[in-house]
Amino acid sequence: MLWFGRVELYMGFSPGECFAVREALSAAGIRYDWKIVDSVNPSGGRLGRFTPARGGPLDRLYYVYVRRRDAGRAQAILQSQK
């Protein structure tokens, strides 16, 4: 799927929630894209030496995107799961 013509359906720090969103979309036959961004260093480059404080669950942002035409249906599926 191309990056334009899509909307952000989910953004959060929970890998479990991201997985549940992706599973629900797959079950409904809705195509999606997803990505993980390191919130400490979004460019992905190295920051220098390793620091033990990094690497926790809140260091990564999870995004799920759907096509604009599927957004309403995808949001309804997610609302019905809550």
Q: What is the pLDDT along the chain (82 residues), one digit of tens a residue?
A: 556 789 999 999 999 999 999 999 999 999 999 999 886 665 555 444 444 455 555 678 899 999 999 999 999 999 998 7
Does the residue 50 lie in any domain?
no
The reply to whether 19 falls in a domain is yes
> Quick count: other Cβ atoms within 10 Å of Cβ 15?
12
Among candidate residues 76, 63, 81, the one with its CA nearest the CA of residue 30: 76
**Domain span at 71:** 1-39+59-82
For residue 48, being part of any structural domain is answered with no
- Phi and psi at residue 79, in whole multiples of 5°? -65, -35
pTM: 0.76
Q: Number of folded domains in the chain?
A: 1
Q: What's 63's domain CATH number?
A: 3.30.70.2750
- Strand 60-67, strand 32-38: pairing: antiparallel
35 inside domain:
yes
Check residue 52 and give its pLDDT. Answer: 46
pLDDT at 5: 87
46 belongs to a structural domain: no
71 in a structural domain: yes
